[in-house]
Amino acid sequence: MAAPCAMDEVPPENLFIAPSIDVPRLLSGQSYSYHSPVPRALVDDKVTECVLGVDEAGRGPVLGPMVYALFYLPLPLHRSLLAETHHFDDSKVLTPQVRSNLVQKLCTASTDLHQSCGWAAKVMSPRDISAGMLKPAVLYNLNQQAMDATIELIKDVFARGVNVKEIYIDTIGPPQTYQAKLSRIFPTTTITVAKKADSLYPCVSAASVCAKVTRDAALEVCYRAYTAAPLTPEGSEAPATAEVEGWGSGYPSDARCSGWLKRNMDPVFGWGNVCRFSWNTAKDLLEAKSSAVNVEWPAQEDEDNTRMIDFLPASRRDQKKNAHKMATWFGVKVGEGLF
Amino acid sequence: MEARLEQALLLKRVVEAIKDLVQDCNFDCNDTGIALQAMDNSHVALVSMLLKAEAFSPYRCDRNIPIGINLTSLTKVLRCAQNDDILTLKAEDSPDTINLTFESSESDRLSEYDIKLMDIDQDHLGIPETEYAATITMPSAEFQRICRDLIALSESVSIEATKEGVKFSCAGDIGNGSVTLRSHTNVEKPELNVEIDLAEPVALTFSLKYLVNFCKASALSGSVKLCLSNEVPLLVEYGLSGSSWLRFYLAPKIGDEE
């Protein structure tokens, strides 16, 4: 779990842009999944039993995607490779630079990490999160979206022929219910759902690092897109302060984030694909008086319904035009006739 | 203009019945009474109301005055009146506001409200006099029930009047349904009578959403009159005391033969 305590940190200058970053899809507001290639050792030997951890980053922020990541490796290497050799830990304990370096190693072909470990990430776009949460009839809340993303990721790993024996997950809601649900879907696997799994199990720590690095890079990519194409291109009032301050961590409690939201709100459309409109921070800003304009939605037209005006002499011009076919139906003009 | 209604209930119910169809409209006052005519936003339905001078006691209006009002505002103020209160409407010759006073019939309570008026540019549409092919009079509660029952299945209803009777039918995703009424005279309870006056058979399709909306007027009158002719809007009329009325017109749907 990425907690708001991490919100004030500054991403490293040379943040590693992981292969889980798909710039066109990020900018267009689509959700997508990334899977690393299955390590050679596991492809060659399909019976190797693996351990898999799942964790998330970016649940609370109003800006940027929520990322679910999973990480798997052969069971015997679990503690020795992750905890002892590379010192993976809860992403909040590690500095951004350390996290970034770890993922870079993981994605470099010659390293021991790359040779034995696989990982995947599901990037859930702000647009899809908000659309689910704001759906009128049966709303699709964040927990359900998170569970579905997790299940989808794990299924994909099974589909790639990885023999997963143990799964560790940080809980969403009550651990027992979530564990029971997952056990029904993956009956052959030992599943452990626990609070603070990211500091207890090295594979969950590693997943949390992958998720966090993906999320940070995604936010950075989105931000660069914003500063490259400022909202007021020719304006002399281009938000110079915004460029200095940035939008921070994307958490609503971060003053840089709320300041950015206020300065960069379009009165009609609000913000772009980067913003979760279902967050109260965004809703409050849009609904506040005098900041955004009120949009009137025209009444939905029934395609196959005729109009009353087709039957009424609305104006003299119309009357002339339609007189031939309406003559039998037109009667007296309103006024005396009505009374 | 000054008009005194014995019971606020009448105006409360009229406004209640039309406020979801029309937001702003003119109440046109002249010496014969108060008239209202407005179309809904999508121009599919039209409301027409006439409260004749006889509905009031007394009624006085020396010249034509349009009273343009937001019906939501009017509803807010009318909610402050008890059903049995005596209601008096007052307006100057070229008014900025309309004044409403509610006098309790039981106590000496007197409440007074002014509502700001608005300039509404409204086309006066001549509603053509029509000889309808079929005129059906039935209990308003019955019509309301039919509309509410059928909207559970479909968005539109076909109304078919023949010698046999009048059939309301609809077809939707889950299935189809119909209600048929025949001419019926109940000597004990004449309010349950169904009268069908048929010159020629007609069949037309209408949006149920609007009909259900019209049925909010059911409280105004025990019976409702439906007038139909092919390729002409349906007229739904609720008669009020003193030959006043509330009428709704609804344009038919096309391309649906069923």
Is A8 part of any known ligand binding site?
Answer: no
So what's the pLDDT on residue A334?
46
Q: Tokens for B86?
A: 């005596």
The answer on whether A170 is annotated among ligand-binding residues is yes
Per the prediction, chain A carries an average pLDDT of 78
Kindly tell me the sign of the dihedral angle through the C-alpha atoms of B15, B57, B63, B95: negative
Q: How far is CA A301 from CA A210, A304, B45, B147, in A?
A: 49, 9, 12, 21
A56 annotated to a ligand binding site: yes
The number of helix segments (H) and strand segments (E) in chain A equals 13, 6
Q: Which of A174-188, A221-235, B52-66 has the lowest mean pLDDT?
A: A221-235
Residues of B in contact with A303 (CB under 8 A): none
pLDDT of residue A232: 47
CA distances from B85 to A295, B73, B76, B100, B176 (A): 39, 19, 16, 11, 46
With a cut of 50, say whether residue A1 has pLDDT above it.
Answer: no
pLDDT for the residue numbered A2? 43
Which secondary structure element, helix H or strand E, spans residue B213, and what is its range?
helix B208-214
8 A C-beta contact, residue A38 and residue A50: no
Asked if A323 is an interface residue toward chain B (Cβ–Cβ < 8 A), one would say no
- Cis peptide bond prior to B58, omega within 30° of 0: yes
Strands A164-170 and B24-30: unpaired
Residue A21 structure tokens: 């970053």
For the sheet containing A190-194, what is the strand order? A32-35, A118-124, A66-74, A50-57, A164-170, A190-194
Chain A residues whose beta carbon lies within 8 Å of the beta carbon of residue B251? 305-308, 310-311
What confidence score (pLDDT) does residue B235 get?
96
Continuous segment of H or E residues that includes residue B146 = helix B140-151
Give residue B143's pLDDT band: very low, low, confident or very high (50, 70, 90).
very high
Q: Do A333 and B50 touch (CB under 8 A)?
A: no
Facing A332 at nearest CB: one of B44, B126, B251: B126
Q: Are A19 and A104 in contact (CB under 8 A)?
A: no
- Kindly provide the b/e burial profile for residues A279-317, where b requires at least 16 CB atoms within 10 angstroms of the residue's own CB: bebbeebbeeeeebeeeeeeeeebeebbbbbebbbbeee
Residue B250 pLDDT exceeds 90: yes
pLDDT tens track for A186-223: 988 899 888 888 888 889 999 999 999 999 888 888 88
Q: Which helix (H) or strand (E) holds A129?
A: helix A126-133
CA distance B34 to B61: 9
- Local confidence band at A235 (pLDDT 50, 70, 90 cut-offs): very low
Residues of B in contact with A331 (CB under 8 A): 126-130
Percent of chain A with pLDDT over 70: 81
What sign does the CA torsion over B191, B192, B198, B203 have? Answer: positive
d(CA A118, CA A102): 13
Q: Which of A320-329, B61-70, B107-116, B133-142 has the lowest mean pLDDT?
A: A320-329
Q: What is the pLDDT of residue A238?
A: 43
With contacts defined as CB-CB under 8 Å, which chain B residues touch A315? 123
What does the pLDDT look like over A23-37, one tens digit per residue? 888 888 889 999 998
Using alpha carbons, select from B257, B49, B128, B168 the residue that is nearest to residue A308.
B128
Average pLDDT over residues B92-111: 92
